[in-house]
Structure 1
Amino acid sequence: MFGRFYPDEYVDSSYGIDYEALWARGIRGLLFDIDNTLVPHGKPETKDAVALFARLHDMGFETCLISNNQEPRVAPFGKAMNSRYLYNAHKPSRKNYRRAMEEMGTDVSTTVFVGDQLFTDVYGAKRCGIYSILVNPIHPKEEIQIVLKRYLERVVLHFYKKSLKN
């Protein structure tokens, strides 16, 4: 029933993902949400985020930030990460997931999406056939519309975790 919202992986943090294993599997493009995936909501880049992206680029990964936020939030962050970026992405619409892959020169078999929300990030990636990794939100402070979605996400995550035991 909720399977369309289930991530392919669920890990604690974007900073704990085994990117070497993804590279070994043939993944060449990484799509990231920003807020509560890489930094707390609305905050600027951190040294950890900059270091992560430098490491990913050194490994050979193409990256693209894909956010529903507006350009004043996303553009400076993208520039700090030395990454492509798409703002006002209308996730979970497929359009900008596809555009991001096109810009990176990847396809669904060589791309992974990393985000903290089931109903936008994961669902949009799954709609495109992109492997999705759900991470725990970095910080509990969020906009009210996201707080409300988190209640529904808890229900879906309950069934997702239950499905892993079967």
Structure 2
Amino acid sequence: MFKCFYPDQYLDSTYQINFEQLYAKGFRGILFDIDNTLVPHGAPADERAKALFARLKELGFGYCFVSNNKKDRVEPFCEETGGCCVYKAGKPSPKGYQKAMELLGTERKNTLFIGDQLFTDIYGAKKAGLFCILVKPIHPKEEIQIVLKRYLEKIVLFFYQKQKKEGNS
């Protein structure tokens, strides 16, 4: 019933992901949400984020930020960390993800997505046919519409984790 919202992986933090392993599996492009995935909502790129993107470049990854935020939020973050961006992406529509893959020159089979919200980030990535990783939000302070969605996410995650424990993934 909720499988269209289930991530391929669910981790505590973007900064725990084994990117070397993903590269070895053939992934070459990474699409990222920004707010609460990489930094707290509205925050600029911090040293940890900048170090992550330097490491990803060194590994050989291309990356693109896919955000529903406006240009004035997304472009400065992109400029601080390199890569490319799609702002006002319209997630969960797959169009923003597809545009990001075009910018990177990657395809579904070698691109993955990382985000913190099930109903926009993960659902959209699934609709775009991407491998996707859900991470826990970095900071509890969020906009009211996101706070409300988090209650529904808890229900979906309950069933996702139950299924994982039962080995029916």
TM band (smaller chain): over 0.9
Following the alignment from structure 1 to structure 2, what is the Cα–Cα distance between the partners of residues 26 and 93? Answer: 25
**2:13 maps to amino acid:** S
- Runs (5+) with no aligned partner, structure 2: none
Superposition CA RMSD, Å: 0.4
Compute the displacement of 1:32 (Å).
Answer: 0.3
What are the residue-to-residue correspondences of 1:28-39 with 2, within 5 Å?
A: 28-39=28-39
Q: Distance in 1 between matches of 2:95 and 2:19?
A: 26
Q: Which runs of 4+ in 1 moved over 3 A?
A: none
Is 2:16 the partner of 1:16? yes
Tell me by how many angstroms 1:36 deviates. 0.1
User: What is aligned with 1:137?
Assistant: 137
Q: Using structure 1 for the length normalisation, give the TM-score.
A: 0.99
Alignment of 1:6-155 (within 5 A): 6-155=6-155
Gaps of 5+ in 1: none
Percent same amino acid among aligned pairs? Answer: 60
> For residues 86 and 97 of structure 1, what CA distance do their matches in structure 2 show?
8
Q: How many residues align?
A: 166
Per the TM alignment, residue 142 of structure 1 is displaced from its structure 2 partner at its CA by 0.1
Q: Aligned equivalents of 1:62 and 1:44: distance in 2?
A: 20
State the alpha-carbon separation in 1 of the partners of residues 65 and 43 from structure 2. 15
| Length-normalised TM-score, structure 2 | 0.97
